[in-house]
């Protein structure tokens, strides 16, 4: 009886914590701010479009697992960002920001460009 009460007590404490933990929703606007704050833009460009200093990251960034693994370990050509400096939540936000960047439109779909020919 006592152990059942203990179990119920533990569940009452743990279940809301687990639910709150899994309810994290990546925030692209916060990710844009973090992308600037952590200096990613200095090598990859503000829109992740790439530059001489780093490859393009967007549109269509790597899937989150590969993205996260690379940022945590890198190849040596990029400084690694460990969870101590850049949290998983911030990294998910940065990924959401890069995912939110639209693909460049097909030039054929831009009427003004067709008039220039
Ligand atoms: C000092 C310059 C520099 C900074 C700052 C930097 N990067 Fe990089 N990044 C690079 C370079 C160079 C590469 C290419 C490395 C390679 O291909 O071996 C790279 C590669 C990557 C890749 C792999 C891309 C691919 O398609 O393989 C990801 C993802 C990435 N960077 C994300 C980030 C994020 C997120 C930040 C900020 C938290 C950041 N980078 C900050 C220079 C930088």
- CATH of residue 87's domain is 1.10.760.10
Q: Give domain status of residue 10, yes or no.
A: no
Ligand 1 closest atom vs CA 98 = 35
Q: Give domain status of residue 115, yes or no.
A: no
Q: Domain range for residue 85?
A: 25-103
Residues 42-98: tens digit of each pLDDT? 999 999 999 999 999 999 999 999 999 999 999 999 999 999 999 999 999 999 999
Domains held by the chain: number: 1
Ligand 1 closest atom vs CA 39 = 5
- Average per-residue pLDDT in the chain? 89
Contact 57, 48 (CB under 8 A): yes
Task: Say what the pTM is.
Answer: 0.82
Kindly tell me if the per-residue pLDDT of 38 is higher than 80.
Answer: yes
Name the packing angle between helices 88-100 and 64-73 (round to 10°). 120
How much of the chain, in percent, has pLDDT values that exceed 70?
80
Which one has a higher pLDDT value, 1 or 13?
13
Q: Give domain status of residue 117, yes or no.
A: no
Residues with a CB atom less than 6 Å from ligand 1: 38-40, 42-44, 53-55, 57, 62, 67, 70-71, 75, 77-79, 81, 86, 94
């Amino acid at each position: 009886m006592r152990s059942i009460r203990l179990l119920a007590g533990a569940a009452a404490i743990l279940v809301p914590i687990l639910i709150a933990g899994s309810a994290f929703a990546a925030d692209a606007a916060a990710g844009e701010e973090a992308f600037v704050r952590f200096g990613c833009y200095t090598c990859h460009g503000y829109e992740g479009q790439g530059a001489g200093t780093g490859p393009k990251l967007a549109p269509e960034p790597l899937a989150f697992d590969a993205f996260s693994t690379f940022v945590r370990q890198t190849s040596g050509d990029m400084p690694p960002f460990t969870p101590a400096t850049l949290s998983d939540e911030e990294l998910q936000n940065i990924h959401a920001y890069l995912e939110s960047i639209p693909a460049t439109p097909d030039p054929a779909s831009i009427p003004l460009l067709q008039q220039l020919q």
